[in-house]
Every structure is written in structure tokens, then in C-alpha cells.
């Protein structure tokens, strides 16, 4: 089977598997071959050894007319911070290298219940801390458009896997940027849902008041279908919210932007944006207006504080979430430790990389007595302020637009030793997570020969309008395909 079968719309693939026109086993095998043929990009950490068998079972049942499901036989790859039954779950950290989860994430169960086949686990920045996938303890992923560039992070493996046609879609998590940034650097679609819309049960926690699960896919239509399967209340995750009664799927094929109220976030186009990236974004904004959208500028005066606020609150939550890795319960345990205190010390010292340690230290610092009021509490106030500013903007606009990042994918190694430069990549995305809003990134063209993503932002629970707007833009620009 040629790899272009993999890149067909997900709904069509599922329909063909159901009717027997296409064998799930062939589709899965084509993806596994593709993973092997493009392994130099290091998008994948581990193959699911059960994937082919599951695909054969789907085919057997389809032959008897007993297979159904909206994702029947559709191969996907999960970021390696989702707990999965038949593989390790490492979060790309030495701390969890030997770890096998005793249960599986709700979203994986939901996707499998619709017939999807999880074929592999994707690389990421260890514990999802990062913007380039270079913080993986197992080596970086490379950008499918240019092997010398980063794929973005932290879901860099997931985004690269989709761009490389190793799967039909992939799962990522987004705490501050981690779905949208790699989607934009790799030229694929990434959706960051409203906080709470998708269950995080069985997903390794980073910043619990920020983390969301979302799809990376080739088209907005594919991403919408996957989101529809995943969204909704989960009794095992008390932070989940009610989903919309209506589908998130794009049933109306001809989405257009006529009358759509679009706010261009002024602060994100003001300065520091690469001129070619800026030109691509502005050209797209002009075409939106030409196609009938009501476009005007909007100011969110506090977004400039977003990054500082994020890098106080998220490390605070990280320092609490990573406390469970103590060398006793699971994960790495230092063999040389002689006392309990040594077990804690050595296991953490050996298991955590530099970035996790940096965040644990920052987090405990901003939470400590004497500094709590000066940092943590102030940052919480800024978070409230930002949430209000977004809310006010959405009283006037259906969606907001911005770049995803000031640049396109940068060279591997360029920022790896400079944490502040790395943090700055997230400057246009973290405010969305602070406000719990929804957003997506979709490719709109190239700058310096590399993909540029447009960021569309919607209010909390605004996914249906957001996805429609995304599909309309996609219809205007077409798809970006990388030749590998
Ligand atoms: N790059 C951001 C960080 O390092 C976001 C990570 C994420 O969304 N998981 O915190």
C-alpha cells in the first residue's frame, strides 16, 4: 500500500474498513513501514506490539459485518505521556524509562471503542517541559521539513509523525503551547480544546489547571472528528465539563467566513515577529477580510504579562505534580541508595533532567513562605485579569487571530542551552491556557521555506465556531504537504 492511503480523510478510511474495501491490517502495516522508513526523524519512541493483531481482529469482524466505529481501523500515535496498556509510558524521561502503566487513559479507551488502532508512542520533551522536543531524555525529534530544525514541542514527536504520514492522527497535550507550536512548526493542524473538555485521566500531569488533551491531524475536518470522539464528561476526571450536545464534526462541508467577527490581537503583531512570518499572517488576515469576515484590531493589554505569569504558575504546579516521583512508588529508583533520604535524593537526581529540576526549584521557590505573595499570588491575579480581557474580547468577536510563534522552526541546538530563549517561543500561546480558552493552529503557508501556522482562538466552549472558522481558512489556503 502506498503511503498516500494513510493521508486520506479519516472518515473515508473508517468507511472503507467497515465495507471491507480497505483492510485495517494493511493500513496499519503501511504506517509501520512508514515509521521504519522515516525513523531518522525519531518521532516515535516505541511501537505497540499489539497493533497489527488488533487490526486483523477488526478485519475479521468487519468480514462478518460485526465491526463498526467512526474510526474503524484508523491508525494513530499517542504522545508518550498518555498511559497505554501494551507499551511503556515514559514521558520521555529517564525517571519513567522502565514504567508500564497499570491502566489506560480514558481518551485511548474512547478512541479504541470507535475502532482506532494505537500503533506507537511519540517522542516529547521530558514531562512535556519544552518547546523543541530537545528536552527528551531519548534524543530529539527532527523537523520533517528540514532535519536540521526542531519540530517544536513539547508534542514534537506527534506533530512530526503526522507530517511524515506515519499515522492518520496523533494525540498531544497542551499546557502552554505544546499542541499548537509543533503543529505550526511541522505544518499540520493542532487543536487545543477548552480546559476540561477532554478527559485527562491517565495522562501524566504537568500543570493541572492548564493541561488539556487534543488532536494533531492533517486537516481541521479530521481533527474535529477525533475531538468529537474524545470530548465530554469523564467520571474519572472531576475537572471535565459537559460537551456540546451537537457534534464537533464539520457536517456543513462548505464552511465560510462571511460575517465572522475576527479580532486581530494587536499586541502579538506589534514587534519581535519575524518579518516573513508577519507578512504571511497579515496576508491571511487580508484574505479573511476579502472573503467577507468582519476583521478589526483588538487589544488585550495584559497579554504581555502572560509569559511571566505562566512561568510562575506552571512550575508551581509542576513542583507539586512531580513530587510523586520519589524512587519508591514507581519509576527510577537509585540502586546505590542506602537510606530513604538517599533514595529520594539519588533517584530524583538521576531520573530528572535539567529542565524538570529547574522547574521544581522555581516552583517550590514561588510557593515558599515569603515569596508566595510576591510571585504566586500576583501571578494568580494576572491570570484573572487575562481571563477577563479574553472574555471581554469575545463579547465583540467570534474568534481572535494571532501568529503561533514569532518565528518558524529554528535550528536544533540553537536554544537548547538557553532556557529563557526557549520559554520565549511560547509568548503568543500561553495566555490562551491561562484563560482556559480554546485555540487551533493551522498551516497557512511558508516563510524561509518552513511552515507558518495561523493561531485561531475561541472562547471557552467555542470549539464549534472555532473549527468551522479553521475549516474555512483551510479551504482558502489548501494543504501543506512535505515531501520526505
Ligand atoms: N513550552 C511550554 C513549556 O515548556 C509548554 C509546554 C506544554 O504545553 N506542555 O512549559
The mean predicted confidence, pLDDT, of the chain is 96
Answer whether residue 230 is part of any domain: yes
**Is 214 inside any structural domain?**
yes
**C-alpha cell belonging to residue 357:** 529540576
284: in domain: no
Q: Give me the sign of the Cα torsion angle 9, 10, 11, 13.
A: positive
Q: What is the pLDDT of residue 2?
A: 53
Number of structural domains found in the chain: 1
Residue in 67, 131, 158, 178 annotated catalytic: 178
- The catalytically annotated residue of 67, 132, 154, 333 is 154
Higher pLDDT, 363 or 1: 363
Q: Is the entire prediction scored with pTM above 0.85?
A: yes
What mean pLDDT do residues 402-429 have? 96
203 lines ligand 1 (CB under 6 A): no
Looking at the domain assignment, is residue 135 inside a domain? yes
pLDDT band, residue 351 (cuts 50/70/90): very high
Residue 325 lies in a domain: no
60: domain range? 3-259+462-477
Q: Would the CB of 130 count as within 6 Å of ligand 1? A: yes
Nearest atom in ligand 1 to 181's CA: 1
Least confident of 21-25, 48-52, 268-272: 268-272
| Residue 72 covered by a domain | yes
* pLDDT tens for each residue of 446-481: 999 999 999 999 999 999 999 999 999 999 998 777
pLDDT band at 4 (very low <50, low <70, confident <90, very high): confident
* 214 Cβ closer than 6 Å to some ligand 1 atom: no
Ligand 1 atom at minimal distance to the Cα of residue 359: 10
Q: How far is the CA of 426 from the centre of ligand 1 (A)?
A: 7
Q: Which atom of ligand 1 is nearest to the CA of 422?
A: 1
Q: Distances from the Cα of 210 to the Cαs of 135, 299, 314, 451, 459, in angstroms?
A: 20, 23, 8, 27, 15
Could you tell me if the CB of 175 is within 6 A of ligand 1? yes
Is 253 a residue whose pLDDT tops 70? no
DSSP-derived pairing of the beta strands 117-122 and 75-79 = parallel
Q: What is the pLDDT of residue 3?
A: 58
Q: Does 154 participate in catalysis according to the annotation?
A: yes
Q: Is residue 420 part of a domain?
A: no
The CATH number of residue 47's host domain is 3.90.1300.10
Q: Within a domain: residue 345?
A: no
Q: Reply yes or no on whether 79 is catalytic.
A: yes
218-230 mean pLDDT = 98
Amino acid at each position: 500500500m502506498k503511503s498516500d492511503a494513510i493521508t486520506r480523510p479519516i472518515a473515508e478510511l473508517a468507511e472503507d474498513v467497515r465495507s471491507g474495501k480497505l483492510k485495517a491490517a494493511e493500513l496499519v502495516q503501511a504506517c509501520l513501514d512508514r515509521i521504519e522508513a522515516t525513523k531518522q526523524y525519531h518521532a516515535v519512541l516505541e511501537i505497540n506490539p499489539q497493533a497489527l493483531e488488533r487490526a486483523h481482529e477488526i478485519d475479521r469482524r468487519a468480514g462478518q459485518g460485526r465491526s463498526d466505529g467512526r474510526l474503524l481501523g484508523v491508525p494513530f500515535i499517542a504522545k508518550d505521556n498518555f498511559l497505554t496498556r501494551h507499551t511503556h509510558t515514559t514521558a520521555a524521561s529517564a525517571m519513567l524509562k522502565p514504567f508500564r502503566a497499570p491502566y489506560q487513559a480514558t481518551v485511548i479507551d474512547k478512541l479504541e471503542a470507535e475502532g482506532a488502532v494505537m500503533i506507537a508512542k511519540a517522542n516529547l520533551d521530558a514531562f512535556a517541559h519544552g518547546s523543541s522536543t530537545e528536552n527528551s531524555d531519548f534524543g530529539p525529534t527532527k523537523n520533517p521539513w528540514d532535519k536540521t530544525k526542531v519540530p517544536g514541542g513539547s508534542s514534537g514527536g506527534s506533530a512530526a509523525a503526522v507530517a511524515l504520514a506515519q499515522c492518520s492522527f496523533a494525540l498531544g497535550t497542551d499546557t502552554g503551547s505544546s499542541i499548537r507550536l509543533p503543529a505550526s512548526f511541522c505544518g499540520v493542524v493542532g487543536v487545543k480544546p477548552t480546559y476540561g473538555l477532554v478527559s485527562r485521566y491517565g495522562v501524566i500531569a504537568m500543570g493541572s489547571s492548564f493541561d488539556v488533551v487534543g488532536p494533531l491531524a492533517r486537516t481541521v475536518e479530521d481533527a474535529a472528528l477525533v475531538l468529537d470522539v474524545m470530548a465530554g464528561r469523564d467520571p474519572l476526571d472531576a475537572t471535565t465539563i459537559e460537551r456540546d450536545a451537537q457534534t464537533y464534526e464539520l457536517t456543513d462541508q462548505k464552511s465560510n467566513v462571511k460575517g465572522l467577527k475576527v479580532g486581530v490581537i494587536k499586541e502579538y503583531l506589534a514587534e519581535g515577529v519575524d518579518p516573513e512570518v508577519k507578512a504571511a499572517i497579515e496576508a491571511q488576515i487580508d484574505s479573511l477580510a476579502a472573503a467577507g469576515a468582519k476583521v478589526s484590531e483588538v487589544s488585550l493589554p495584559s497579554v504581555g504579562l502572560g509569559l511571566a505569569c505562566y512561568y510562575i504558575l506552571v512550575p508551581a504546579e509542576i513542583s507539586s505534580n512531580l513530587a510523586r516521583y520519589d524512587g519508591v512508588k514507581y519509576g527510577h529508583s537509585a540502586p546505590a541508595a542506602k537510606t530513604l533520604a538517599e533514595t529520594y535524593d539519588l533517584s530524583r537526581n538521576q531520573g530528572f533532567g535539567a529542565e524538570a529540576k529547574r522547574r521544581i526549584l522555581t516552583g517550590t521557590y514561588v510557593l515558599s513562605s515569603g515569596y508566595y505573595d510576591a510571585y504566586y499570588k500576583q501571578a494568580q491575579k494576572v491570570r484573572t485579569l487575562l481571563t477577563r480581557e479574553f472574555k471581554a474580547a469575545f463579547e465583540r468577536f467570534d474568534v481572535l487571530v494571532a501568529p503561533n510563534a514569532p518565528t518558524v522552526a529554528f535550528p536544533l541546538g540553537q536554544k537548547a542551552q538557553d532556557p529563557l530563549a526557549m520559554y520565549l517561543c511560547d509568548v503568543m500561546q500561553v495566555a490562551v491556557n491561562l484563560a482556559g480558552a480554546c485555540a487551533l493552529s493551522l498551516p497557512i503557508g511558508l516563510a524561509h521555506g518552513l511552515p507558518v501556522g495561523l493561531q485561531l482562538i475561541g472562547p471557552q466552549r467555542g470549539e464549534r465556531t472555532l473549527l468551522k472558522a479553521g475549516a474555512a481558512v483551510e479551504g482558502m489556503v489548501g494543504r501543506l504537504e512535505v515531501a520526505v
